[in-house]
Amino acid sequence: MDEVPQWTNTQASRTPAWGAVVSMALGVFGLVTAEFLPASLLTPMALDLGVSEGMAGQAVTATAVVGLITSLLVSAATRSIDRRYVLLGFTLLLIGSNLMVAFAPNIAVLLTGRVLLGIGLGGFWTMSTAVAMRLVPDALVPRALSMIVSGVAAATIVAAPVGSYVGDMFGWRSVFVLATALGVITFVVQFATLPNLAPNAATRLRTLVDVLVRPGVGLGLLAAMLVFAGHFAFFTYIRPHLENITDASITRSPAFCWVSASPISSVRCSAGFWSSVVCAAR
């Protein structure tokens, strides 16, 4: 994970960069929203691209697998790059990913776009905790982290039902165009508010191994992984199930989709957040 900053007395008393914290919350909101959209649009995506719903569901798998790999390697791979530019780069990947998906002529292009999202999602989420610690004094770190993770909570609650409803009205591609617009807004806000954040410590791949072998950490991460796997295995295909098995439609059952997604998503958010805190703080 990214390095943990060491505050000096001057840094601890400086004015917190709340604008930058809000921009990071927007970044997390945009990334997680894009992550969940295929689950709410799986049926029309599969129909339009001429593939099965199972194949279209690999859009979620591609993002998750690449996000996992990126989260493990990004700190070491970008150890000499200013964190401001790294985060802006991840947001550009979000924009590019949504554009590729919105105009994808086939499943291959769509999956390529989702791979880009996985890089942006895994990298941004991995660095968010450590960067937040550099934006505010120690006493305000919990508040900053709560603001950032609120972007995850909002996205998991809003993305699926809104994406389904808007996609039913204007087409699934229009939803990703809107997600692109959200990414552009996020990039502008981040560009205006994020300060230069030069790396302040060497990051090695060995650090990851050292963290995993500590008692309880590996087991905790395994438990979180099982929660995520169970969540996505269920959540990704809930729309095809509702439409094909129960004969429901988006206009008749958005509330059901909302309620069924929210509790599991909340568990996922909590597990993912605390896993990132543990790895970043040790």
Domain of residue 177, residue span = 18-281
User: For residues 217 and 131, what is the distance between their CA atoms, to the nearest angstrom?
Assistant: 22
Q: Are the C-beta atoms of residues 186 and 155 closer than 8 Å to each other?
A: no
Could you tell me the CATH number of the domain that includes residue 45?
Answer: 1.20.1250.20
Q: Which residue in 22, 177, 187, 190 sits closest to 92, CA to CA?
A: 187
Whole-number pLDDT of residue 280:
38
Residue 154 placed within a domain: yes
User: For residues 50 and 44, what is the distance between their CA atoms, to the nearest angstrom?
Assistant: 10
Residue 5 placed within a domain: no
Residue 9 placed within a domain: no
Residue listed under structure tokens 């798998």:
61
Each residue's pLDDT, cut to its tens digit, for the chain (282 residues) gives 444 444 343 444 468 899 999 999 999 999 999 998 988 888 889 999 999 888 988 888 899 889 988 988 888 888 888 999 999 999 999 999 999 999 999 999 999 999 999 999 999 988 888 898 899 998 899 999 999 989 888 888 888 788 888 888 899 999 999 999 999 999 999 999 999 988 776 667 677 777 777 888 878 878 887 887 777 777 677 777 666 776 666 555 544 444 344 434 444 444 444 444 444 344
Residue listed under structure tokens 């990126």:
70
For the whole model, what pTM was predicted? 0.78
Residue 135 placed within a domain: yes
Residue 70 placed within a domain: yes
Whole-number pLDDT of residue 158:
83
Residue 59 placed within a domain: yes
Residue 164 placed within a domain: yes
The residue type at 45: M
Residue listed under structure tokens 């617009």:
181
Number of domains the chain is built from: 1
Residue 161 placed within a domain: yes
